[in-house]
Amino acid sequence: MSEADWPWPDAPEPLPSPVVDNHCHLDHRIKGGLLIDVEDALDRAAAVNVDRIVQVGCDLEGSRWAVETARQHEAIVAAVALHPNEAPLLEQAGTLDAALAEIEALAQDPTVRAVGETGLDYFRTGVDGRAAQHRSFRAHIDVARRHDRTLVIHDRDAHDDVLAILDDQGVPERTVMHCFSGDADVARRCLDRGAYLSFSGTVTFKNAEPLREALAVTPTDRILVETDAPFLTPTPHRGRPNASFLVPYTVRFMAEFLGRSVDDLCRAIDENTDRAFGGSWPRHTPAV
Report how far Cα 65 is from the mean position of its chain's Cα atoms: 16
CA distance 140 to 119: 8
Mean pLDDT of 64-74: 98
- List domains and CATH numbers for the chain: 17-276 (3.20.20.140)
Confidence of residue 36 (pLDDT cuts 50, 70, 90): confident
Strands 175-177 and 223-225: unpaired
pLDDT band at 288 (very low <50, low <70, confident <90, very high): low
Percent of the chain with pLDDT over 70: 95
pTM score, whole prediction: 0.95
The SS3 call for residue 266 is helix
- Binding-site positions read 23, 25, 117, 154, 178, 228
Largest CA distance in the chain: 53
Reported as a single tens digit per residue, the pLDDT across 254-284 is: 999 999 999 999 999 999 999 999 999 999 9
Q: Which residues sit in the known binding site for a divalent metal cation?
A: 23, 25, 117, 154, 178, 228
